[in-house]
Amino acid sequence: MKPRIALIAHDMKKDDMITLAAQYIDFLRGCHLVATGTTGGRLANELGLTIDRKHSGPFGGDLQIGAHLVDGQIDAVIFLRDPMTPQPHEPDINALVRACDVHNVACATNLSTAHLVLSQLKLAARK
Ligand SMILES: O=C(CO)COP(=O)(O)O
Catalogue the active-site residues.
62
Per-residue confidence (pLDDT) for residue 49, from 0 to 100: 98
Could you tell me the sign of the dihedral formed by the alpha carbons of 90, 92, 97, 99, in that order?
Answer: positive
Q: Whose CA is nearest to atom 5 of ligand 1?
A: 57
What is the extent of the structural domain holding 8? 4-126
Non-local (6+) Cβ contacts of 27 within 8 A are: 118, 121, 122, 125
Encode 59-79: b = buried (16+ Cβ within 10 Å), e = exposed. Answer: ebbbbbbbbbbeeeebbbbbb
Mean pLDDT, the chain, integer: 97
Q: How far apart are CA 23 and CA 115, in angstroms?
A: 9
Q: What is the CB < 6 Å shell around ligand 1?
A: 8, 10, 36-39, 56-58, 61-62, 93
Residues 15-38: tens digit of each pLDDT: 999 999 999 999 999 999 999 999
Q: Whose CA is nearest to atom 1 of ligand 1?
A: 57
Per-residue confidence (pLDDT) for residue 126, from 0 to 100: 87
User: Residue 61 is part of a domain; what is its CATH number?
Assistant: 3.40.50.1380
Domain count, the chain: 1
**Best mutation site among 7, 14, 17, 38 for ligand 1 pocket (most ligand atoms within 8 Å of CB):** 38
Residues 115-125: tens digit of each pLDDT: 999 999 999 99
pTM of the model: 0.98
Q: How far apart are CA 33 and CA 47, in angstroms?
A: 13
**Average pLDDT for 68-88:** 97
